[in-house]
Amino acid sequence: MKECDEDAAMHFAFNAGYRNLDHGRYYTHLLTSTSTFLRTEARPDVCIRYEYPDTCFFVPNATTSLETVLRNLVFQPGDVIICFSTIYGAFANTVKHLSQTTTVQVKTIDYTLPISDARLCELIEGTIQELKKGGLNPPIAIFDSINSLPAVRMPFERMIEICRRHGLFSCVDGAHGIGQIPLDLGELHTDFFATNCHKWLYVPRGCAVLYVPKRNQWILRSTLPTSFGVHDGFVANFASLGTLDDYPCLCVPAALAWRTMLTWRSRKGEEAIMSWMQNLARKGGATVAAILQTKVLENEGGTQGDCSMTDVRLPPHPAETVGDGLDGRMTATVAGIVSVTVHSDAWWVRLSAQVYLTLDDFEHAGRSLLEVCGSVTQGEGRMGTCSGAT
């Protein structure tokens, strides 16, 4: 058995002193993945032909998953895709492109964090009703399990039920889901669910799973790109998407096995991992906020922080100091990296808890952020968003 803390860190390839406080963006994988890679390369033809499971639908990433779903739908005049203003940037570009090349329209639900779960559910249900009342047809709604930036947990379970009740397909961007929060896809009854195994499950990049219940598999007539299995049924269709490095998918069983060995406070496996990370995220976020004399992004019910990432407000800065540069300064100061974003007229830093981190790492990050923000205020550098943060 292994404890969640520095003991777990020994199983990752970090340099000494490196503090990976942005696992949600750059993630990492277990050292044991190397043995799987060597086994695959020792007999590549055997591995590719005979050792793939026929019950999993693997794709390179969650972006490919959502693209596959949306580009298989046949839109009619009056159709409207519903999404939230915090939708992941690549997905926002996808729906925008579809609105430019097909008859579909896009309805973006604007909102400001923090916000209650009940209000979010009211917004999506009210939007559906408003569109239908206006003679439009929303066939699908896209929403997160956990937002990327700012990083907050969404009431996606209730949103799935709202979509089902109103006859919409629910498409959940669960990129940050698997390995971070409990997921029972059979119980969720969602129509499409995409999640990245290379983020919180500790497998190499890129490896994602697209869940499609049997009732909806007829919709996905083609992969993205279309390949050789297009006429051979759902599973065969996704068996080969061209020349890809498929070995990350073969590392999933080893990652799952390693996770069962972790312990914390008499908990084991997934329960230990998720409890440790969520506890550390809450305590770490509060610690950094206290050092910066700011606050953590959270709603009154405390539900948006039910994940392993936390958002801490940065001290106010003059508008002219906002630009690019925080990443590099933090790398030099913290021996790590962070993601920042603007929301509700304020700068927020996203920090990721992990099994290999402790509260000391968050305290170090807080002191470093205070130093960096102080130097920015004095005009020694500029802060900015991280384009492409995930």
Work out the average pLDDT over 93-109: 98
More confident call, 106 vs 370: 106
pLDDT at 22: 66
Buried b (16+ CB within 10 A) or exposed e, 51-60: eeeeeebbbb
Strand partners, 59: 208
58-250: CATH architecture:
3-Layer(aba) Sandwich (3.40)
Give me the count of residues in the chain.
Answer: 390
Annotated domain spans of the chain: 2-31+260-377, 58-250
Distance between CA atoms of residues 251 and 205, nearest Å:
10
Q: 382: closest CA among 307, 330, 320, 334?
A: 320
Give 220's pLDDT tier (boundaries 50, 70, 90): confident
Strand partners, 140: 81, 169
What percentage of the chain has pLDDT greater than the value 90?
53
Distance between CA atoms of residues 225 and 242, nearest Å:
8
Q: What are phi and psi of 194, to 5 degrees?
A: -115, 135
Report in angstroms the alpha-carbon separations of 241 from 98, 174, 261, 355.
22, 22, 34, 34
User: Per CATH, which fold does 2-31+260-377 belong to?
Assistant: Aspartate Aminotransferase, domain 1 (3.90.1150)
CB atoms under 10 Å from CB of 74, counted, come to 10
Strand partners, 120: none
pLDDT at 387: 43
Give 114's pLDDT tier (boundaries 50, 70, 90): very high
More confident call, 290 vs 47: 290
pLDDT in tens, 364-373: 999 988 888 8
Q: 199: closest CA among 148, 128, 156, 143?
A: 148
- Please, which residues have CB within 8 angstroms of residue 179's CB and are 6 or more apart in sequence? 197, 199, 200, 201, 202, 259, 273
Q: Are 382 and 321 in contact (CB under 8 A)?
A: yes
Measured torsion, CA atoms of residues 82, 85, 86, 89, in degrees rounded to the nearest 10: 80
**pTM, full prediction:** 0.84
pLDDT in tens, 327-354: 556 555 555 677 888 898 888 999 999 9
pLDDT in tens, 306-319: 999 999 999 876 44
pLDDT at 58: 84
Q: What are phi and psi of 342, to 5 degrees?
A: -105, 130
